[in-house]
Structure 1
Amino acid sequence: MNLNSGIEKKGNILIVDDILENLQLLRNALLKLGYTVRSVTSGRMALKTVNVKRPDVILLDIKMPEMDGYQVCRILKSDSEFSHIPVIFISALDDVFDKVTAFELGAIDYITKPFQIEEVVARLENQLTIQRQQQLLEKENIKRRETEEVLYQSRALLASVLNSSLDGIAAMQAVRNTETGEIEDFECLVVNPVIARAFKCSREEMIGKLALKNFFSNIDLELFDRFVNIVETGESLEQDFYYESGKYCWFHFVAVKLGDGFSVTIRNITARKKIELALQDANQKLEELANLDGLTQVANRRCFNNRLQSEWQRLARENQPLSLILLDVDKFKSYNDYYGHLAGDDCLIRIGQTLQKVVRRPTDLAARYGGEEFVTLLPNTDLEGGIKVAQNIQQEIYNLAIPHAESDVKEIVTVSLGISSLIPRLEVQPDTLVAYADKALYDAKQQGRDGWSTNC
């Protein structure tokens, strides 16, 4: 008996890696968690597999014989049929250039080997959750368009469906001032039981009565004038409105010109509206999660890349400086090996939160760049200002006094920082600022770590 037969598959994952040990490790871990997993050992096999059955997410190694991961990603993104498939690179390459290349080719994430399966799963779930929510929202939008198609051909058609309709249906005649000709109210010509119940009276009591002006003023003060506009201009009106009527509170109406008046259909959309509002709230939370690093809860690489692009464009127009600090935890591998991964995670969390405390302006950004690397983006800040922030970061990390018995730099955790500052220009790529900071970080490490260096 297959104990897993009743488990709902979470997603269809394709793993591409020419190292069988990595392939088997990821495949077994994801299968145990309920994912559908296919694995191949080359780029060409990956492309054939995608053509046979489209995966939800591709985990792609970079260094492979014959065709590397970059080539595979480029081919996929150039094909409109497969370009939307999320690609997450998993590679031992940890150079900034490799990561930048991956994102330029259209990857949505980059995980550095050796990886932690929890991190891989968290990033996978982010992408799969976003896909599921988008699919649900699209289905709901299709359903809404279908259910809101209302066709009015004549009063005769209206009369034939009044009593059986679950929607509220009415036809209104304009009542005009005899001297000015302006519409003062509307008289009910036809009304069905649903509308009558909303007015808390019978159909017979409503026919021939002036009803709308006072009633709709309780819902929306501008609504009566909008109905007048339908009659005067011929433009239809469609909108949702809130009105408490028993257990229902959300309604959608469509009103169209009919002679010297209009016809209206009103539909109860309370259930759909609650789902729609819940989806909006869920999508907002998903967007926030998509921009947060799962471990440290500071901004992630995706958020940093987007902010760098937008600030580069803005400051290029304003001719103002943009500074960037790239920092790396000194001897972090030794720390992890000695104290364990849980302590290593806690160390990264404390450093991330320290950056959040130092970088306080609304336009500034502290983000996890990858592994033990963090980055701060400082708009409207010149090199001198960037140095001051770097010194504050260094001092605050000293103040944490996190013991590091395996460090040959200090007995506590320290960081090396690379600082770059430019006045952006539109003809220059924003990644130039990152490259300068990376070179400065390299210099700081070469100088003995636990310090900062600049490159402009």
Structure 2
Amino acid sequence: MLLSISKYKPRLDKNNTLILLVDRSLENLHLLANFLEKQGFKVKKAINGKKAIDIAKKRTPDLIILDINIPEINGYPVYQHLKCDTKTVNVPIIFMGTEQEIAEKVRSFELTITDCITKPFQEDQVLTQVRSKLVINNNNQPLNKHNQPLTKEMDEHIKFTNTLVSANQNLQTVITFDPVTKVANRKTFNEYLNSQWKKLEKKQIPLSLLLCNFDFYEKIDNSLKDQILKELAQNIKSVVKRSTDLFARYDNNKLAVILPSTDSKGAVYLGKLIREQVEKVKINYPQLQGDKNFNLNIGVATIVPSEKMTPQSLIELVEQAIRKAKASGKS
């Protein structure tokens, strides 16, 4: 369902529009700043949250583009601080991050698709998001008394729109995350693997996949199994630290990590860290002591993507590694 908010398009004076960019990467900061300046916008830059807040207090920007995982003060606390300050409470904010960062933060930040720019940024997407936010914010500026009836109508319209956005956001959460483990689901796994395959194929950079297979003892009931799997997922997630890596539930008893730009040594090292986290979970459950708990087999595969292969080639290799580990009786 498409909803047209208004046919009125206010004229935006780009030369007087100030955009504050906040990004942990100097390279990304300069690239984005140069692009926006070429479009006629004025730009201020900040490498961390503290500097961003200081700049915003000195001169209120018309728009802020904020990195989700900036150092010192994380993106969300910066967002909260700006929204609690009377000078910046009405300044629109667009979050910027990798696909996984956005997927993980979309619920806690209560974001919509028009609140996010995906890294690496696409110029068309940036310009569309910036223009959209500026136009909406311009429309929402306080109107004079003569226009009060229109203000009321707009408020009702915005409430209705927010209801639709909230419903869509809840649906997106169901589509993106596994309900038991609270990590990415198989659909998200497939989409991310395909996108990284295409990206790394152009650069001829290795792509690794790590698959954890848990064989539970047959007398462990399903409710306990889900509880254990959830804790396993959260513990493993603590060592999957790179923003470009995707941790997902692959199927019932399998968890997977997609590792872009990672060779086999890096993937094997992560596998060792994961095994340590799994042992910590076993300690928390007395009923899992001894041999009658579950076995963990970790499969690792690395490929430099090419036109002759597909993402399925990588999946087949890692599943083959799991089968070999099971057959040998080794983890």
Quick check: 1:388 aligned with 2:269?
yes
Measured in 1, the distance between the counterparts of 2:180 and 2:160 equals 30
Measured in 2, the distance between the counterparts of 1:297 and 1:249 equals 45
Measured in 2, the distance between the counterparts of 1:328 and 1:304 equals 16
Once the two structures are TM-superposed, the CA of residue 314 in structure 1 deviates from its matched residue by: 1.0
Q: Please give the residue correspondences for 1:30-429 in structure 2 after superposition, counting only pairs within 5 Å.
A: 137-138=1-2, 141=3, 144=4, 240-244=139-143, 268-330=153-215, 332=216, 334=218, 338-402=219-283, 403=285, 410-429=291-310
Partner of 2:111 in structure 1? none
Can you give the 5+ residue segments of structure 1 that lack an aligned partner in the other structure? Answer: 1-136, 150-218, 220-236, 253-266, 452-456
Partner SS state of residue 362, structure 1? coil
Once the two structures are TM-superposed, the CA of residue 277 in structure 1 deviates from its matched residue by: 2.8
CA RMSD of aligned residues (A): 3.3
Measured in 1, the distance between the counterparts of 2:223 and 2:143 equals 53
Measured in 2, the distance between the counterparts of 1:393 and 1:297 equals 17
Q: Residue 179 of structure 2 aligns to which amino acid in structure 1?
A: G
Larger RCO (CA under 8 A, 6+ residues apart): 2
Once the two structures are TM-superposed, the CA of residue 269 in structure 1 deviates from its matched residue by: 1.9
As a proportion of its length, which structure holds more helix? 2
The 8 Å contact of residues 404 and 411 in structure 1, kept in 2 or not, is answered as no
Q: Residue 272 of structure 1 aligns to which amino acid in structure 2?
A: H
Partner SS state of residue 139, structure 2? strand
Measured in 1, the distance between the counterparts of 2:159 and 2:245 equals 36
Q: Residue 377 of structure 1 aligns to which amino acid in structure 2?
A: I
Q: Which has the larger radius of gyration?
A: 1
Identity %: 26
Can you give the 5+ residue segments of structure 2 that lack an aligned partner in the other structure? Answer: 9-89, 91-134
Runs of 4+ in structure 1 displaced over 3 angstroms? Answer: 237-241, 248-252, 402-408, 410-414
Partner of 2:87 in structure 1? none
For residues 136-175 of structure 1, the C-alpha deviation after alignment (integer angstroms, 9 at most, x for no partner) is x44xx2xx48x969xxxxxxxxxxxxxxxxxxxxxxxxxx
Measured in 2, the distance between the counterparts of 1:347 and 1:382 equals 30
Partner SS state of residue 182, structure 2? coil
Partner of 2:127 in structure 1? none
Partner SS state of residue 243, structure 1? coil
| CA 1:283–1:245: 2 relative to 1, 3 Å | farther
The TM-score, its normalising length taken from structure 1, stands at: 0.40
Once the two structures are TM-superposed, the CA of residue 375 in structure 1 deviates from its matched residue by: 0.8
For residues 245-266 of structure 1, the C-alpha deviation after alignment (integer angstroms, 9 at most, x for no partner) is 57x87959xxxxxxxxxxxxxx
Once the two structures are TM-superposed, the CA of residue 283 in structure 1 deviates from its matched residue by: 2.2
Alignment size in residue pairs: 204
